[in-house]
A and B are shown apart, each in its own frame.
Chain A
């Protein structure tokens, strides 16, 4: 059992009223991360396999082929970490 830090390079809380979180995954784990997420989350929409609209446990987020994801409407960073933990570990 690893830790989300094994997969996540950094988390940025966006500036703006939306208060979204942008998660940048580690470059060398990008493929593994995408595979794990796509296995667990429900794909609502896929655009050319480079952008995925996803939902997971009532959380909606968008995953980019560049190895970044944007999570919306989360209460705080702890909630985000819980979601990431469920998705990745």
Chain B
């Protein structure tokens, strides 16, 4: 009965979506805004990567909202999982087998470096703050694999997280006052296109987002691992 009802509902949903799908052509340009972004994105924001110029240049305020959603989700997870006070283990952490432990110790700095590279070059190459942050969080996941019971330092993690969010907001407010136009306006010089030091405030915001997302996701992993032990 349950399966039949769900298949019926599914058929209705699929039919409704399929009827709208027939009106969408595949592989043809659909919106004029795309051409506008591609043609003017470099001059307007100074970022060679047009996706970055959309995420942080044209839709910077929207991105601040997304970062806030991420923060609230991580906070809700902490509120659901943190029931009692933390009890630090008496014997500390126990390493896994020698090969796994050494491999994780060797790979950890390299992965963090790669994540930092991804978010520092967010305006030049594919990638950016969110992706770099996720890569950094995966490095912390690796330490749990190689070393059972090892924890993220909570004070440092929340300090980095707050600093990242604060940098984003402060840069936005600085744009409001310095350039006198609007929140998150590009008040720093755009520089030469394609250089590392270019794009005005975009690399700075992406570094802030990278640190924030990295520490936030590392904190999420940390709480889930703590709960499952």
Do they bind each other?
A: no
Interface of A toward B, CB cutoff 8 Å = none
